[in-house]
Amino acid sequence: MSWYGVTDIWTYVIGAIGIILLPGPNSLFVLSVATARGVRAGYRGAMGVFVGDSVLLALVGLGAAGLLRSYPALFMAVKYAGAVYLSWVGLNLLRAAVWRWRSGVALAQADADTSRLGAGVGMDQPFRRALVISLLNPKAILFLLSFFVQFIDPGYEAPIVPFLILSAIIMAASAAYLSALIFAGVRLAQTFRRRVRLSATLSAGVGGLFMWFAAKLASASLH
């Protein structure tokens, strides 16, 4: 029994929410941008994620996962490019955090340093940076394909319909989650302006997570 070609839709909804809630480079970047530069910049980063996810979903529909499996060298090139980019973002966050921790700057200087941090990791261009982070993840294409096909009725006459329904659900869940992160980041910024060393410590933690994401991506395989 399917609903417009979607089988077991509530199981999919629960699974999609679980996937969205898993921490990843996209959500951490949007949170960092919102913390450093406010709501508008946070939503520019979120738009980069939405566009990147839409491109990945379209590529899944066009069979990109099969292409990556057929040409392992292409998969290797994309995944290492993604790992290098995530490492660069992480290193810049760590470098800025170390500078802030050592200087122990006062409130007025902390605001100026936030601008420096933003420039260092691309927070001055959140849409473009979030888009690149989203796209340079071939494992996302493979995962989306393996997840989606479980809920599409192969006998449905118009497979594009269930594909669009499933895509809309996961994009709506992503929008709600990123919005929550953006407003949480703005609240965190108020605390960070008063406690510069706490801000530096958490920035270092985020930088370390980006380095970990890079290592995970570099070790990813097609299986």
Instruction: Outline where the chain has alpha helix (H).
Output: 9-21, 25-37, 39-61, 64-70, 72-103, 107-121, 126-135, 138-148, 160-194, 196-218
Read off the tokens for 69: 């499996």
- CB contact set of 95 (below 8 Å; sequence gap of 6+): 120
Q: What is the largest CA-CA distance in the chain?
A: 64
63 vs 177, more confident? 177
pLDDT at 75: 74
Q: How confident is the model at residue 116 (pLDDT cuts 50, 70, 90)?
A: very low
Residue of 70, 116, 64 whose CA lies nearest to 93: 116
- Report how far residue 133's alpha carbon sits from residue 158's, in angstroms, rounded to the nearest whole number: 32
- Report how far residue 150's alpha carbon sits from residue 25's, in angstroms, rounded to the nearest whole number: 26
Q: Over 80: is that where the pLDDT of 74 sits?
A: no
Q: Quick one: angle between helices 107-121 and 25-37, nearest 10?
A: 140
pLDDT at 48: 94
Q: Over 60: is that where the pLDDT of 104 sits?
A: no
For residue range 3-31, list pLDDT tens digits in order. Answer: 788 888 888 888 888 878 877 888 888 98
pLDDT at 186: 82
Q: What's the mean pLDDT when you consider all of the chain? A: 77
For residue range 165-215, list pLDDT tens digits in order. Answer: 888 998 999 999 999 999 988 887 766 655 666 666 776 777 787 788 778
pLDDT at 103: 64
Q: How confident is the model at residue 120 (pLDDT cuts 50, 70, 90)?
A: very low
Every domain of the chain and the residues it spans: 2-218
Range from 43-52, 92-101, 174-183 carrying the lowest mean pLDDT? 92-101
Residue of 174, 177, 187 whose CA lies nearest to 38: 187
47 vs 72, more confident? 47
For residue range 48-60, list pLDDT tens digits in order. Answer: 999 998 888 888 7
Residue type, 169: I
- Report how far residue 102's alpha carbon sits from residue 177's, in angstroms, rounded to the nearest whole number: 34
Q: Phi and psi at residue 15, in whole multiples of 5°?
A: -65, -40
Neighbours of 23 (CB within 10 A): 10
Whether residue 185 contacts residue 65, with contact meaning beta carbons closer than 8 Å, is answered with no
Residue of 30, 26, 46, 14 whose CA lies nearest to 140: 26
- CB contact set of 185 (below 8 Å; sequence gap of 6+): 30, 31, 32, 33, 34, 35, 42
